[in-house]
Amino acid sequence: MPVGTLASVKGVSQDLLEELGVQILLGNTYHLYLRPGVEQVRQLGGLHRFMAWPRAILTDSGGFQVFSLNELRKVTDEGVTFRSHLDGSSHFFTPESSMAAQIGLGADVIMAFDECTEHPADRERVRQSMELTLRWAERSKKYFEAHKGEVPWGEVRGFEFPVSSRADTRNQKPETGNGDKTQALFGIVQGGMDSSLRKESAERTIELDFPGYAIGGLSVGEPRALTREVVEATLQYLPADKPRYLMGVGTPEEIVEYAGLGVDMMDCVLPTRAARHGLLFTSEGRISIKQARYASDPGPLDPNCGCRICRRYSRAYLRHLYAANEVLAQVLNTIHNLSFYLDTMRAVRHSIALGNNAQPVSGRRSQTKP
RNA sequence: GCACAGGUGGGUGAGUGGUUAAAGCCAGCAGACUGUAAAUCUGCCCCUCCUCGGAGGUACGAAGGUUCGAAUCCUUCCCUGUGCA
């Protein structure tokens, strides 16, 4: 899932994302709540219509901001007080308010409000944080069950593109649902780097019965080997017949590896952010296009990549755009990285479809996924 | 020709007797980036040596001078801008 925090995958338009084959985007409740505001989005028909994205959307609950905005917030059992990073204003987030916001935004998949535990943290701190997330998960679920019908699209989800009624006939049915009137609320497993707490968190989250489960609290500064360890330790307790979503991961190598372990969904800002910073992922490894060595390199970014960027532009040109600070550099770089990630996942799905459990890169076999 | 104002490291621009190899910014070079406070952040950026903490050498238009000590003060010269002839 490409990340589009502010209802925008930075640098790429929605029509292009469709062409690239993106099936689902991630948006962020906290950011959209602050701007333009949930009510604003709701009145404009919900997030899909607002951002003109006919395919699936998942919104994060704001739980990650509990972690990343640690300078600007205060956590209590009841909820989290945030100071807006935009204007300093104070806002109180609770599981209930997060659910209300996410129902108002109207994404297809919404996330329970959790606390992403910082790393490192001692066991007692991790346990308390995990318990908090479990209490919040229960409250999230309860509120959601009571209000899940209050989605912005009303009885039947449906909208057309383009927005203007005078425009051509390119009307599309939404591709996200089959008439569902509600969203899917996923639970989030925490537990830090402690396998036994992960197990407990998973089991107790499952008891609450969600249609999908996420592994949160990783990629927060821990060594990569540890990330993998914790993923494996957690995954085995999550039902294989429901989506398993590993939050905030990872590099191209990592997403293949995790898919091989049985992870179904992942999101990461890495491809888009790195692209804007001149770091490009290729079949031959990472390329920092800003390096002087590419100044007169006429070849494609990645000779093995069939994306529209690699088919058309040279490394020298991409390097020039970056050096000259042209916005096009960010656009082209982002398209490439996204294409590379999408191609990677397509290969993974293809491999699975062929009944070939073996993952393309590491060759590790999944224990639990067909 | 006269009168002012200036000449600082690749650029710009602080500094106006010592703590100044000389701020900041830009350019340049390299690195980081993993549920986005990120078109961001970090390091290097005169030369040589180096045990990477430093050591030495050059340097603020040029040449002299004053001083324990000068990018900073004085003299002459060169150059640039503006104004007046």
Is the C-beta atom of A335 closer than 7 angstroms to strand B? Answer: no
Task: Give me A284's structure tokens.
Answer: 């031959």
For residue A90, list its beta bridge partners.
A83
**Cα separation, A214 vs A116, whole angstroms:** 12
pTM assigned to the model: 0.91
pLDDT reported for residue A141: 98
Which nucleotide across the nucleic acid strands is nearest to A294, CA versus C1'? B29
In order along its 370 residues, chain A shows pLDDT tens digits of 999 999 999 999 999 999 999 999 999 999 999 999 999 999 999 999 999 999 999 999 999 998 999 899 999 999 999 999 999 999 999 999 999 999 999 999 999 999 999 999 999 999 999 999 999 999 999 999 999 989 887 654 555 565 554 433 333 334 454 455 679 999 999 999 999 999 999 999 999 999 999 999 999 999 999 999 999 999 999 999 999 999 999 999 999 999 999 999 999 999 999 999 999 999 999 999 999 999 999 999 999 999 999 999 999 999 999 999 999 999 999 999 999 999 999 999 999 999 866 545 443 333 333 3
User: Are A288 and A270 contacting, i.e. CB atoms less than 8 angstroms apart?
Assistant: no
User: Are A210 and A141 contacting, i.e. CB atoms less than 8 angstroms apart?
Assistant: yes
State, as a whole number of angstroms, the distance between the CA of A324 and the C1' of B5: 36
Give me the interface pTM, i.e. the ipTM. Answer: 0.89
Which nucleotide across the nucleic acid strands is nearest to A247, CA versus C1'? B35
Is the C-beta atom of A225 closer than 7 angstroms to strand B? Answer: no
pLDDT reported for residue A347: 97
Compute how many other C-beta atoms are within 10 angstroms of the C-beta atom of residue A280: 28
Nearest to A248 by CA among A113, A63, A102: A63
State, as a whole number of angstroms, the distance between the CA of A364 and the C1' of B36: 31
pLDDT reported for residue A160: 59
**Cα separation, A22 vs A33, whole angstroms:** 24
Q: For the residues of A219-236, what is the DSSP string, one character each? A: SSS--HHHHHHHHHHHHT
Which nucleotide across the nucleic acid strands is nearest to A279, CA versus C1'? B33
Q: Which amino acid is at A123?
A: R
Question: Which nucleotides of strand B are protein-proximal, with an atom < 7 A from a CB?
Answer: 27-41
pLDDT reported for residue A355: 84
pLDDT reported for residue A154: 62
Q: How many residues does chain A have?
A: 370
Is the C-beta atom of A24 closer than 7 angstroms to strand B? Answer: no
**Cα separation, A41 vs A39, whole angstroms:** 5
Is the C-beta atom of A251 closer than 7 angstroms to strand B? Answer: yes
End-to-end CA distance of chain A: 21
Is the C-beta atom of A214 closer than 7 angstroms to strand B? Answer: yes
Task: Give me A86's structure tokens.
Answer: 């935009």
Which active-site residues of A does the annotation give?
A: 60, 267
User: Are A270 and A251 contacting, i.e. CB atoms less than 8 angstroms apart?
Assistant: yes
Compute how many other C-beta atoms are within 10 angstroms of the C-beta atom of residue A285: 10
CA distances from A344 to A19, A62, A221, A360 (A): 16, 28, 25, 9
Task: Give me A364's structure tokens.
Answer: 């590790």
pLDDT reported for residue A307: 98
pLDDT reported for residue A161: 60
Cis omega (within 30 of 0) for bond into A120: yes
pLDDT reported for residue A165: 45
pLDDT reported for residue A158: 55
Cis omega (within 30 of 0) for bond into A355: no
